[in-house]
Structure 1
Amino acid sequence: MAFDVEKIRAQYPALADGRAWLDGAAGTQVPQPVIDAVSDAYRVGMSNVGGPYESSRRAGGIVAEARASVADLVGASDPACVVFGPSMTALTYRFAAVLAAAWRPGDEIVVTQLDHDANVRPWVQHAQRAGAAVRMAELDPATGELPADHVTSLIGERTKLVAVTAASNVLGTMPDLQAITDRARQVGALSYVDGVQHCPHAHVRLADLGADFYATSAYKWAGPHLAAVVAADPWSLENLHPDKLTPSPDTSPERFELGTNPFAALAGVVAAVEHLAGLDSDADGSRTERLAVSRRSVQAHEDELARALFDGLAALDGVVRYGAPEGACTPTAFFGLPGKEPAAVAEQLAERGLNVSFGHSYAWEAVHALGIGPKGGVRASLSHYTSRSEVQRLLDALAEIAG
């Protein structure tokens, strides 16, 4: 493994300010190649697609390359499976509207307490309008786990959709996704998987996950503020017909994308995927092959840091970690200091040069299941550019604050 975190950090201008950026789950920083790609797209000039001139063809090429890049990143079968949008929330509402059009009274959907509300509320609201029943799979508040049998026991012959996260945005829990999606497929239900916190930390292969739809946000993996929903195959999109303007394209995936695509941001997506593919300097071959090597190197680096973080938190008096999953999880810790408001703890850490998140982080069902309510907790989330010394800075600061 040729993973050099200091060499990688040098590519991120924001990291030069001396702060410890431990808020990757809220959005990562952006490396210089992505900044350059976005600015170069504007500098060279672009026109809308469909014109008989170079600037228009250039924009079309950016869109095509962005679809191919995301397809490589998540192991999609075809770039035509990739739908872009401004955010995972917006895209999920878009898909909820078109999928719910076929739901009828007596049908059922399954959602979970582990999920970000963006993979709960759109489905619940549309189910209520359709008269479909909602089944909520409960997490284990003691461990932060979502046992697969809690989900599969709710999937029946009338189930139309199962919405489940691949990784919790606050607890880091990574449930047994394949067991869940296999059961959904057995009864003819679709699975919609929130991969926003999963994709930054894993080598993703859609076929292994069994997801019919997989959502990811580029700003969580060093790209611009842009999201994508990736279908398991183009056929999944061809049979869906969302509301659209009459003259706008009726081809797939274009008919799912409202208005003009942000071409410069998509150029940044391409650069971000290339950056991820090169995080291990020994990675070679096609982009897919380089991604496989680099993503596994990232996992090894982050696993080492996560263990130091989790063990360090466990050793601190006056710090309580919410949900400590024993199974697979991302390098994310959600914790509190009894008697201290999460906002106040985050502020004290900020004064010491440590950026962490606080609150419910839109994990609305989870914070209530954990019994901590909407004030939530403090979240430290590590990224591929996090260093071991930054983890220690956090632990030292927490010991001081708790003491």
Structure 2
Amino acid sequence: MMYDVDALRAQFPALLAGTAHFDGPGGTQTPAPVIDAIADALGNPLSIRGAVAPGEVNAETIVAEFRRAMSDLLGADPRGIVFGRSATQLTYDFSRILARTWRAGDEIVVSRLDHDANIRPWIQAAEPAGVLVRWADFDPVTGELPASAVGDLLTERTRLVAVTAASNLIGTRPAVAETARLVHRAGALLFVDGVHYAAHEFVDVTDLGADFFVCSPYKFFGPHHGVLAARPELLETLRPDKLLPSADAVPERFELGALPYEALAGTRAAVDFLAGFVAEASGGRRERLRSAFAAIVRHETALRGRMEAALSAMQGVTIHSRAADRTPTLLLTFDDRAAADAYGFLGRLGVHAPAGSFYAVEASRHLGLGDSGGLRLGLSPYSDTSDVDRLLAGLADFLKS
């Protein structure tokens, strides 16, 4: 199936500025159809959701279309799609809600591979409840986090395991489905951070075995907010704090206050934009998304291979992304040179490749990189060979400078 990267790039106004973007793990640029959908939502009548006035009907329609779109993207029930200000906010909220069900002496498991947003909320919820926190370590040499690293920590007191589906720092994709089987066999719940994963892979929360799955639409061309997917029947068992007159139905009971309808309209448009990546694809939106992500994986994997081949030949460069199964995200460090210096050097050439630990501070420390991390090169579906060649030429010049 045809993947026309030039036609794709033409739909992103921000790319006209000429920057070569390798900051996809931090958020993608926004295509015109998403911008238009946001403007259209704001340009038409809007009010609190209802069924009488045009603004009420528009708001109700936007919310319903948002839930259906995210349902198609994640393979989830629309009734289990929860809006949040961010994935971090959603994780904090659900850590507090779930902690009410824990008792002193219970246990949870967190992973050192994860973004801190899927670590600190759980630790902070566990401490006052007297719950023991166990750490699953990844191999700093290979970058791998096998299911056994979690499985070996499970006991009859384990209540929850929090793990990433893909590391935003080094790209590692752990065996989440295998981990889920071990977690569920122990009678625990699995909370999956899919923020980096959902930008690069076709998601099926059921196949993954995730009881809770969070992602962020701004990582896949949408607006800045978070989404949580869970089974409606599981959400029915959870009681968050809320205002007395606010809706108690699922998923509304977890969404505090009026929703940002324009952002939800933009997210629906982002999912539709993804579904249209492959012109020849047929079927419903879910099937077209499957075809789109297959094409995205092929495109990004080819570009990653081009980068890795050249970087491996450069003296004084260490690539820390080594897992067999990973996203198109590479973390580099340099002999006797700071990654932050490379970031600044490339930036002056119009190449945006940021440096740091990117909130994956536990992973950075476990790699021996402290809190400073490295230079992260993250590909996106609109990345092309000219971007990669500009990056590689810039790095070669940096190493000579």
Q: TM-score, normalised by structure 2?
A: 0.98
The 3-state SS of whatever aligns with 2:179 is helix
Describe how 1:312-327 pairs up with structure 2 within 5 A: 312-325=310-323, 327=324
Describe how 1:285-304 pairs up with structure 2 within 5 A: 285-304=283-302
Are 1:353 and 2:350 matched, yes or no? yes
User: Which amino acid in structure 2 is aligned with residue 303 of structure 1?
Assistant: T
Residues in 1 aligned to 2:30 and 2:261: alpha-carbon distance in whole angstroms: 17
Using the TM superposition, give the Cα deviation of residue 320 of structure 1 relative to its aligned residue in structure 2, in angstroms: 1.1
Aligned match of 1:247 = 245
Whether the aligned pair in 1 keeps the contact of 2:171 and 2:321 (CA below 8 Å) is no
The match for 1:307 among 298, 305, 310 is 305
Whether the aligned pair in 2 keeps the contact of 1:200 and 1:221 (CA below 8 Å) is yes
Long gaps (5+) in structure 2: none
Q: TM-score, normalised by structure 1?
A: 0.98
User: Which amino acid in structure 2 is aligned with residue 287 of structure 1?
Assistant: R
Aligned match of 1:362 = 359
- More deviation, 333-342/216-225: 333-342
Whether the aligned pair in 2 keeps the contact of 1:100 and 1:126 (CA below 8 Å) is yes
Residues in 1 aligned to 2:137 and 2:259: alpha-carbon distance in whole angstroms: 38
Aligned match of 2:41 = 41
Aligned match of 2:163 = 164
Residues in 2 aligned to 1:310 and 1:191: alpha-carbon distance in whole angstroms: 33
The 3-state SS of whatever aligns with 2:256 is coil
Root-mean-square deviation (Å): 0.9
The match for 2:260 among 259, 262, 265 is 262
Whether the aligned pair in 2 keeps the contact of 1:3 and 1:280 (CA below 8 Å) is yes
The 3-state SS of whatever aligns with 2:267 is helix
Residues in 2 aligned to 1:19 and 1:230: alpha-carbon distance in whole angstroms: 34
Using the TM superposition, give the Cα deviation of residue 338 of structure 1 relative to its aligned residue in structure 2, in angstroms: 2.2
User: Which amino acid in structure 2 is aligned with residue 104 of structure 1?
Assistant: R
Using the TM superposition, give the Cα deviation of residue 210 of structure 1 relative to its aligned residue in structure 2, in angstroms: 0.6
Residues in 1 aligned to 2:96 and 2:48: alpha-carbon distance in whole angstroms: 28
Residues in 2 aligned to 1:147 and 1:287: alpha-carbon distance in whole angstroms: 33
User: Which amino acid in structure 1 is aligned with residue 183 of structure 2?
Assistant: A
Using the TM superposition, give the Cα deviation of residue 309 of structure 1 relative to its aligned residue in structure 2, in angstroms: 1.5
Using the TM superposition, give the Cα deviation of residue 341 of structure 1 relative to its aligned residue in structure 2, in angstroms: 2.1
Aligned match of 1:134 = 133
The 3-state SS of whatever aligns with 2:88 is helix
Aligned match of 1:397 = 394
Residues in 2 aligned to 1:155 and 1:397: alpha-carbon distance in whole angstroms: 47
Residues in 2 aligned to 1:163 and 1:42: alpha-carbon distance in whole angstroms: 37
Whether the aligned pair in 1 keeps the contact of 2:321 and 2:329 (CA below 8 Å) is no
Are 1:7 and 2:4 matched, yes or no? no
Aligned match of 1:95 = 94
Aligned match of 1:236 = 234
Aligned match of 1:22 = 22
Aligned match of 1:338 = 335
The 3-state SS of whatever aligns with 1:258 is coil
User: Which amino acid in structure 2 is aligned with residue 377 of structure 1?
Assistant: G
User: Which amino acid in structure 1 is aligned with residue 114 of structure 2?
Assistant: D
The 3-state SS of whatever aligns with 1:260 is coil
Using the TM superposition, give the Cα deviation of residue 323 of structure 1 relative to its aligned residue in structure 2, in angstroms: 3.5
Using the TM superposition, give the Cα deviation of residue 291 of structure 1 relative to its aligned residue in structure 2, in angstroms: 0.7
Aligned match of 1:275 = 273
Aligned match of 1:155 = 154
Whether the aligned pair in 1 keeps the contact of 2:18 and 2:350 (CA below 8 Å) is yes
Residues in 1 aligned to 2:321 and 2:282: alpha-carbon distance in whole angstroms: 38
Whether the aligned pair in 1 keeps the contact of 2:63 and 2:264 (CA below 8 Å) is yes
Cα deviation digits, residues 261-310 of structure 1 (max 9, x gap):
10001000010000000011111221111111111111111111111122
Are 1:284 and 2:278 matched, yes or no? no
Aligned match of 2:325 = 328
Whether the aligned pair in 2 keeps the contact of 1:141 and 1:323 (CA below 8 Å) is no
Using the TM superposition, give the Cα deviation of residue 207 of structure 1 relative to its aligned residue in structure 2, in angstroms: 1.5
Aligned match of 2:115 = 116
Using the TM superposition, give the Cα deviation of residue 329 of structure 1 relative to its aligned residue in structure 2, in angstroms: 0.4
Whether the aligned pair in 2 keeps the contact of 1:142 and 1:323 (CA below 8 Å) is no
Residues in 1 aligned to 2:149 and 2:383: alpha-carbon distance in whole angstroms: 34
Are 1:176 and 2:175 matched, yes or no? yes
Are 1:382 and 2:379 matched, yes or no? yes
Task: Count the aligned residue pairs.
Answer: 400
Residues in 2 aligned to 1:289 and 1:245: alpha-carbon distance in whole angstroms: 39
Using the TM superposition, give the Cα deviation of residue 51 of structure 1 relative to its aligned residue in structure 2, in angstroms: 6.0
Aligned match of 1:371 = 368
Using the TM superposition, give the Cα deviation of residue 50 of structure 1 relative to its aligned residue in structure 2, in angstroms: 2.9
Residues in 1 aligned to 2:378 and 2:298: alpha-carbon distance in whole angstroms: 16
Cα deviation digits, residues 215-248 of structure 1 (max 9, x gap):
01000000000110100x2101011011111111
Whether the aligned pair in 1 keeps the contact of 2:45 and 2:54 (CA below 8 Å) is no
Identical aligned pairs, as a percentage?
Answer: 47
Aligned match of 2:217 = 218
User: Which amino acid in structure 2 is aligned with residue 52 of structure 1?
Assistant: V
Using the TM superposition, give the Cα deviation of residue 52 of structure 1 relative to its aligned residue in structure 2, in angstroms: 2.4
The 3-state SS of whatever aligns with 2:159 is strand
Residues in 2 aligned to 1:155 and 1:312: alpha-carbon distance in whole angstroms: 42
1:51/1:286 Cα in 2 relative to 1: closer, same or farther (>3 Å)? Answer: closer
User: Which amino acid in structure 2 is aligned with residue 189 of structure 1?
Assistant: A
The 3-state SS of whatever aligns with 1:15 is helix
Cα deviation digits, residues 78-108 of structure 1 (max 9, x gap):
2011000110000000000000101111100
User: Which amino acid in structure 2 is aligned with residue 385 of structure 1?
Assistant: Y
